Amino acid sequence: MKPNTKFQTVDEYFTSLPSRSKKILKEVRKTIKQAVPKAEEVISYNMPAFKMNGILVWFAVHTEHVGFYPRPSAIFAFAKELEGYKMSKGAIQFPLDEPMPLKLISKIVKFRLKEDKK
């Protein structure tokens, strides 16, 4: 991915990725789509995101990990299940050299959908 590229679409973002990263991120994308089939895919903060009333989650590939950004409330709610992953207030890092926790990602996205409806 070229630095300073401004993406207009999620597909454009995916086109810029190396094949290994693209394959992994496609799994994450598919998992999120299955969890929230009516959500709209958008680019927000130059990252792929899924939106209903507001942004549900953002996700992006980095050199060593997939960054998953579900808002602090979701990280707090799933803190026990996220033990072992690097986290900050609003971000979770899923290492690229480990299987993606797709079931957990799905649960977090569904949690965010419930929050978004409030």
Buried b vs exposed e over 97-112: b needs ≥16 C-beta within 10 Å?
A: eeebbbebbebbbebb
Percentage of the chain modeled with pLDDT above 90: 91
Coil/strand/helix, residue 1: coil
Read off the pLDDT band of 79 (50, 70, 90). Answer: very high
**Cα–Cα distance list, 65 to 28, 34, 40, 54 (Å):** 12, 22, 24, 25
Residue 86 parent element (H or E) = strand 86-87
**Residue 13 token pair:** 């973002």
pLDDT at 3 over 90: no
Read off the pLDDT band of 117 (50, 70, 90). Answer: confident
Summarize the confidence of residues 25-46 as an average pLDDT: 96
Q: Which CATH class is domain 10-117?
A: alpha beta
DSSP bridge pairs for 48: 43
Q: pTM of the prediction?
A: 0.92
